[in-house]
Amino acid sequence: MEQGIWGRFGAFHPVVLFVYFASLLVLLIFQFHPVVALLGLSGGLPFLFIIKSGSKIKKMLLFYLLFFFVLTVTNLFFTHEGQTPLFYINDKPVTLESGIYGAVMAALLIAVLIWCQCMQVILTSDKILYLMGKSIPRTALVFTMSFRFLPLFLRQMKKIARAQKAMGLYAGDSVYDKAKGGVRILSSLIGWSLENAMDTACSMKARGYGIRGRNDFSLFRFRKSDALMLALILVLTGTVFLGIVRRDITFSCYPAVSTVSFTLPACTAYAAFGILTFLPFLTECRERIKWKHQKENIHDERVGDATGIFFLPGCKKTGA
Amino acid sequence: MKSRTYIRIFLYFILIPAVILVGIHIFQDRKYAFVTLAVAICSCIPPFIGYEKRSADTGRIVVLAVLTALAVIGRAAFVFLPGFKPVTAIVILTGMYLGAESGFLCGAFSALLSNFLFGQGPWTPLQMFSWGMIGFFAGILANCLARHKILLLYGAFSGILYSVLMDVWSVLWFEDAFSWKRYVAMFLVSLTSTVMYMVSNVVFLLLLAKPFGEKLSRIQKKYHL
């Protein structure tokens, strides 16, 4: 998770990120098409590779492969529509069409899951809160406070458990005893957290929460690059939608698998969707190359410097 | 006040049906999946706006945040026992004591927040909707639920409801038509967890209802909520 302020795609304004993920996920969830599935997977996987650590990825890929296999096979045995029987089980045909339907559907589902993981890394809770806080501030406050309470309560729960142990209230080996001990801790936690919450509420009231005319602070600025990115995303999404509405890209499996059209309008829609899915990966690559280049420049300067010591501007004057 | 009512009417009777109709037209092959997801997301909007409009004081907001956090911690604490979670019980109790809209918020946010730990996905809006509705109806039925037996019955029922809603969603999502065969298969596969949900809801309601009620009413008395 090396995102944060150094994050490259993640550095765009939350509104831009939200529009991006929303339009991408809507297309992936609701447009049943093999090309869409393929582009969604091929754009999402390299991006996920960059933003997540490598060790987990291998396990995840294995899981997804298994998932793909299971979904495809189960669809073969559940759906008997289609014209091309491969073989028969109990006088019921197992068809090629249902296999292809299952495979495309599974690929789409995996693409959605991969993009959801990317979204979780990029669209962090502070950004979600920023998006919500504008329109529904009170609801957003509940959301953010519960988020903060999670680690606080976990720590308190451990404290309570230790204290109860010290008082001699051990949980025995039986399930009943354990459950009773758990509930005793939970009950004590409820009492403590409610009291604590009331203190917080009083403090908030004393500082003037809910008074008219207060404004809020946020680090997010809508820059020119954000506007450009947002425009690009909207144009690309619009192009794909146009292709869907005009039925340039359609695909169906039953009764027979339709051919994937490669007419000019269809290709335009594919291209637009392809650019959309590769946008984060390309942005990330561009920024990394830029950073590497700049780092080399820094290195050159240091070699050229006779003393080899850097002075920040103004350091000598203040004598620091 | 009046313009707000108009906005509400616009939202309920024009905007939401329009979104659904346009979606069905655009995504013809996936219309069932679209309708389920659109309905789930759209039905989250009115309770959020309703909560926003209520002039609830700071204390109630913070108490709601506490209960939501407790529900999430409950889901995380019992992670080793799949299906055996106190979330639904806490959501029901929140709805009972703090009102329907707070119950909805507690349910919806428990799903959203805990999925930051367990993984977000297309199921998140559905979970938010299901748990939110369980909390919402607990708030509406608060008077009936004051009787202990009915409360436990409601807990068991909401376990079934949650499971059925999630299964129907999975079927519609994969096939884009409702197939009984696949639904029955899903139902049988998830039967153990459905029973788990029911049992855990009843058990946690049995264990938590009393301390919960006592503590909340103590706080209410002490701080004049």
| B206 interface with A at CB cutoff 8 Å | no
Q: How far apart are the CA of A143 and the nearest CA of chain B, in angstroms?
A: 7
Give residue A318's pLDDT band: very low, low, confident or very high (50, 70, 90): very low
**Average pLDDT for residues A11-38, to the nearest whole number?**
92
**% of chain A residues with pLDDT over 70:** 89
Residue A109 dihedral angles phi and psi, to the nearest 5°: -60, -40
Q: Which residues of A touch B174 (CB under 8 A)?
A: 71, 75, 105, 109
- How far is the C-alpha of A146 from the C-alpha of A154, rounded, in Å? 12
Helix (H) or strand (E) holding B100: helix B100-118
- Test A142 with B63 for CB contact under 8 angstroms: no
* The two three-digit tokens of residue B152, written as one number: 């436990």
Q: Per-residue pLDDT for A36 more than 90? A: yes
> Inter-axis angle of helices B31-53 and A137-166, to 10 degrees?
80
**% of chain B residues with pLDDT over 70:** 96
Report which DSSP code applies to B178.
Answer: -
**Average pLDDT for residues B93-119, to the nearest whole number?**
89
Give the model's pLDDT for residue A317: 41
* Cα-to-chain-centroid distance, residue B72: 13
What number of residues does chain B have?
225
Give the model's pLDDT for residue A24: 95
Give residue A314's pLDDT band: very low, low, confident or very high (50, 70, 90): very low
- Test A29 with B56 for CB contact under 8 angstroms: no
Q: Per-residue pLDDT for A214 more than 80? A: no
Q: Per-residue pLDDT for A309 more than 80? A: no
- Test A136 with B52 for CB contact under 8 angstroms: yes
Q: Per-residue pLDDT for A23 more than 70? A: yes
Give the model's pLDDT for residue A300: 61
Q: Per-residue pLDDT for B101 more than 80? A: yes
Q: Which residue has the higher pLDDT, B8 or A295?
A: A295
The 10s digit of each residue's pLDDT in B115-160 is: 888 877 788 888 999 999 999 999 999 888 888 889 999 999 999 9
| A209 interface with B at CB cutoff 8 Å | yes
Write down the mean pLDDT value for chain B: 84
Give the model's pLDDT for residue A34: 93
Give the model's pLDDT for residue A209: 80
- How far is the C-alpha of A136 from the C-alpha of B9, rounded, in Å? 19
Lowest mean pLDDT among A95-104, B53-62, B157-166: B53-62
Which candidate, A114, A125, A297, A293, places its Cα nearest to that of B117?
Answer: A125
CA distances from A244 to A36, A40, A68, A204, B49 (A): 11, 16, 26, 51, 33
Indicate the burial class of B72 (C-beta count within 10 angstroms; 0-12, 13-18, 19 or more): buried
Q: Which residues of A touch B66 (CB under 8 A)?
A: 145-146, 149, 193-194, 196-197
Give the model's pLDDT for residue B3: 65
Cβ proximity of A75 and A102 under 8 Å: yes
Q: Per-residue pLDDT for A75 more than 70? A: yes
- Test A32 with B121 for CB contact under 8 angstroms: no
Q: Per-residue pLDDT for A308 more than 50? A: no
Chain B residue at shortest CA distance from A138: B52
Give the model's pLDDT for residue B153: 93
* The two three-digit tokens of residue B25, written as one number: 């037209």
- How far is the C-alpha of A203 from the C-alpha of A199, rounded, in Å? 6
Residue with tokens 């919960």: B212
Give the model's pLDDT for residue A217: 76
Q: Which residue has the higher pLDDT, A299 or A304?
A: A299
Q: Per-residue pLDDT for B191 more than 60? A: yes
CA distances from A106 to A61, A68, A87, B145 (A): 14, 5, 22, 43
What is the four-CA torsion angle of A89, A92, A97, A103, rounded to 10 degrees?
Answer: -50
Which candidate, A281, A284, A279, places its Cα nearest to that of A8?
Answer: A284
Reported as half-sphere exposure (CB side, CA atoms, 13 A), residue B175 has a value of 22
**By three-state DSSP, how is residue A262 classified?**
coil
Cβ proximity of A18 and A9 under 8 Å: no
**By three-state DSSP, how is residue B68 classified?**
helix
Report which DSSP code applies to A174.
Answer: S
CA distances from A102 to A79, A109, A112, A296 (A): 9, 10, 15, 50
Give residue A299's pLDDT band: very low, low, confident or very high (50, 70, 90): low
Ramachandran class of A210: left when φ > 0, alpha when ψ lies in -120 to 50, beta otherwise: left
- How far is the C-alpha of A166 from the C-alpha of A158, rounded, in Å? 12
| A198 interface with B at CB cutoff 8 Å | yes
**Average pLDDT for residues A54-81, to the nearest whole number?**
85
Give the model's pLDDT for residue A159: 92
- How far is the C-alpha of A122 from the C-alpha of A101, rounded, in Å? 31
The 10s digit of each residue's pLDDT in B30-55 is: 778 888 888 888 888 888 888 887 76
Q: How far apart are the CA of A113 and the nearest CA of chain B, in angstroms?
A: 6
**% of chain B residues with pLDDT over 90:** 26
Give the model's pLDDT for residue A171: 65
Give the model's pLDDT for residue B80: 67
Which candidate, B222, B60, B152, B39, places its Cα nearest to that of A209?
Answer: B60
| DSSP H helices in chain A | 14-30, 34-51, 54-78, 96-122, 125-135, 137-166, 175-206, 224-245, 264-304, 315-318
Residue A94 dihedral angles phi and psi, to the nearest 5°: -100, 115
Q: Per-residue pLDDT for A306 more than 60? A: no
| B47 interface with A at CB cutoff 8 Å | no
Q: Which residue has the higher pLDDT, A90 or A199?
A: A199
Q: Of A15-24, A133-142, A188-197, B188-197, which one has max mean pLDDT?
A: A15-24
Q: Of B47-61, B69-83, B85-99, which one has max mean pLDDT?
A: B85-99
Q: Per-residue pLDDT for A6 more than 70? A: no
Q: Per-residue pLDDT for A44 more than 50? A: yes
* The two three-digit tokens of residue A176, written as one number: 């009943």
Question: Domains of chain B (ranges plus CATH)?
Answer: 56-223 (1.10.1760.20)
**Interior angle at CA A268, CA A266 and CA A272, nearest 5:** 120
Give the model's pLDDT for residue B155: 93
Q: Per-residue pLDDT for A315 more than 50? A: no
Q: Per-residue pLDDT for A301 more than 70? A: no
Give the model's pLDDT for residue B55: 63
**By three-state DSSP, how is residue A180 classified?**
helix
The 10s digit of each residue's pLDDT in A143-169 is: 888 988 998 998 998 899 889 888 887
Q: Per-residue pLDDT for A320 more than 80? A: no
| A29 interface with B at CB cutoff 8 Å | yes
Q: Which residue has the higher pLDDT, A54 or B109?
A: B109
Q: What is the DSSP string of A228-258?
A: HHHHHHHHHHHHHHHHHHTTSS----SSSPP
Q: Per-residue pLDDT for A226 more than 90? A: yes
Chain A residue at shortest CA distance from B32: A30
